[in-house]
Amino acid sequence: MPKYVIIGASAAGIGAVEAIRDVDPVGGITVISEEPCTKYSRPMISDFVSGKAALPEMMCRTDAFWDENKVEALTGRKAIALDLAEKNVNLDHGERISYEKLLIATGGIPFVPKMEGTDREGVFTFTNLSDAERLAEKLEDSKNVVVIGAGLIGVSATEALVRRGLKVTLVELQDKILSLLLDSNGSEIIENAIRKAGVSIVTGSSVQRIMGKAENDQSVGSVFLTNGQQVSCDVVIVAIGVIPRT
């Protein structure tokens, strides 16, 4: 039985492995990760989409990290149930892992509001490598993108899109961008820089509906904003925050 089981192998899971090894060099550690690829920098998915960085440059730990820390890494595996009484974690392939100590480091999932059209082809979130890979492929034949949410993730996505030469409309419900991070002066400085890069910024508004193309209703064709404006686009990125998985 591994002494420690950690569900999630991103920033928190990796940090926990290092912290455990500081005080316990020998106790068995098993890490379970739904994502097949671990140890990459999540903030760098913007550079991946823009083409500035390839996957090897995004790695925040070496290939040998798990071995060096004597960790059994179960990647591409999802924990689907916990038996707290028996101290077991059940995995999606039917396997059962016992533990003495369990850490749930499963992070957040992007919040996608209930809105007409979010199921259309061309709607993306922007939080992990798989999102970034699918988006990068779609952008090959796209021209106009609407990003919903001008927080850290929305602005990060916008930067990648601008670097790829796409026309971006950034829609923010608050009256300024990056409102949770910056004061009014800071927000204005960044907003001016983003506008200068050719981005249309719409503040004090949100997306009401995502509409299909005239020739193919299943694919994204435009969005209707709460201010009555309609913006044509091939892709919509929903970046209005994450909610805890647990």
Ligand X SMILES: Cc1cc2nc3c(=O)[nH]c(=O)nc-3n(C[C@H](O)[C@H](O)[C@H](O)COP(=O)(O)OP(=O)(O)OC[C@H]3O[C@@H](n4cnc5c(N)ncnc54)[C@H](O)[C@@H]3O)c2cc1C
Which residues of the chain form contacts with ligand X (CB under 6 A)?
7-13, 32-35, 42-43, 45-46, 78-79, 105-108, 126-127, 152-153, 156, 245
Contact of 41 with 136, CB cutoff 8 Å: no
Least gap, CB of 149 to ligand X (angstroms): 11
CB 27 within 8 A of CB 17: no
Amino acid at 56: P
- C-alpha 207/C-alpha 188 separation (Å) is 22
Would you say 79 or 171 has its CB closer to ligand X?
Answer: 79
Nearest approach, Cβ of residue 38 and ligand X (Å): 7
Of 180 and 214, the one with the shorter C-beta distance to ligand X is: 180
Distance CA 238, CA 223 (A): 12
Q: Select the residue whose beta carbon is closest to ligand X and give its number.
A: 107
Nearer of residues 32 and 170 to ligand X, judged by Cβ: 32
The least CB distance from residue 2 to ligand X, in Å, is 15
| Closest CB 115 distance from ligand X, rounded Å | 21
- Residue closer to ligand X by CB (options 96, 116) is 96
**181 or 197: whose CB is closer to ligand X?**
181
Q: Which residues pair with 97 in a beta bridge?
A: 89
Distances (CA, A) of 144 to 10, 35, 44: 32, 29, 22
Task: Output the smallest distance, CB 144 to ligand X, in A.
Answer: 21
* Nearest to ligand X of 96, 175 (CB atom): 96
Per DSSP (E only), the strands in the chain are: 4-7, 29-33, 71-75, 79-83, 88-91, 96-98, 101-104, 108-110, 123-124, 144-148, 167-172, 200-203, 207-212, 220-225, 230-232, 235-238, 242-244
Pairing of strands 108-110, 242-244: antiparallel
**How far apart are CB 88 and ligand X at their closest, in Å?**
14
